[in-house]
Amino acid sequence: MGWIGVDLDGTLAEHYWPQKGPYEPTRIGDPIPAMVERVRGWLAEGREVRIFTARVGLIGSAPGFDNDDIDPIVHAIWEWTEKYVGHRLDATCMKDYKMIELWDDRAVRVVVNTGEPCCGLPMKALY
């Protein structure tokens, strides 16, 4: 069975920047209850869930930041997910063929092999 990718900012946790202050890669917004419950349900079913976030990318997780050392970011994600989800979830910024779903506030789903969007277009970004 494959894994489910869940975006952090704007999907599992509320965006806090720029509305609530400057970007800090180890600061994570408040949980989004509906998504937290969904993730808990998947985990209870024995599914693998990973946090899918640019925060752990090797080349800048946001303008002006270069992630030479992502350990503090990974630890912040572990602590946040343990507190709100009940499990330390691994974080990645890379897809692989075992990823079966991606839940993300920026994604646009397309019809396979067509390049045509399906299921509606994305909502306007908040930032």
Cis peptide before 18 (omega within 30 of 0): yes
Distance (Å, whole) CA 21 – CA 121: 29
The structural domain count of the chain equals: 1
Is residue 89 assigned to a domain?
Answer: yes
Max CA pair span of the chain: 41
Highest averaged pLDDT of the listed ranges 24-28, 77-81, 92-96? 77-81
Is residue 124 assigned to a domain?
Answer: no
The Cβ-side half-sphere exposure at 57, using a 13 Å CA radius, reads 14
Q: Helix, strand or coil for residue 74?
A: helix
Q: For residue 7, what are the domain limits?
A: 3-103
Is residue 74 assigned to a domain?
Answer: yes
Query: What's the CATH code of the domain at 71?
Result: 3.40.50.1000
Distances in Å between the Cα of 103 and the Cα atoms of 12, 19, 38 are 9, 23, 11
Rounded average pLDDT over 104-110: 86
pLDDT digits (tens, 9 = 90+) for 51-92: 999 888 876 555 556 666 788 889 999 999 999 999 999 999
pTM score, two decimals? Answer: 0.85
Distances in Å between the Cα of 73 and the Cα atoms of 5, 38, 67, 83, 92 are 17, 23, 9, 15, 11
